[in-house]
Amino acid sequence: MTEILGYLGALIIGVVLGLIGGGGSILTVPVLVYLMAINPVTATAYSLFVVGTSSLVGAVKNMQKKRVDYRTAVVFSIPAFIAVYATRKFLVPAIPEHIITIAGHEITKNIAIMLFFAFIMILASVSMIREQKEKPVKTEKVKYNYPLIIIEGLIVGVLTGIVGAGGGFLIIPALVLLAKLPMKKAVATSLLIIAIKSLIGFIGDVQNLDIDWPFLLIFTGISVVGIFLGVYLNKFIDGKKLKKGFGWFVLLMGIYIVWKELF
pLDDT per residue as tens digits for the range 223-246: 999 988 888 887 787 767 788 888
CA distances from 132 to 115, 140, 160, 166, 172 (A): 27, 22, 23, 19, 11
Dist CA 166 CA 160 (whole Å): 6
pTM for this one?
0.87
Helix, strand or coil, per DSSP, at residue 130: coil
Give the pLDDT band of residue 22 (cuts 50, 70, 90): low
Dist CA 102 CA 202 (whole Å): 33
Cα 236 to its chain centre, rounded Å, is 26
pLDDT per residue as tens digits for the range 23-49: 677 889 999 999 999 999 999 999 999
Residue 215 confidence (pLDDT): 96
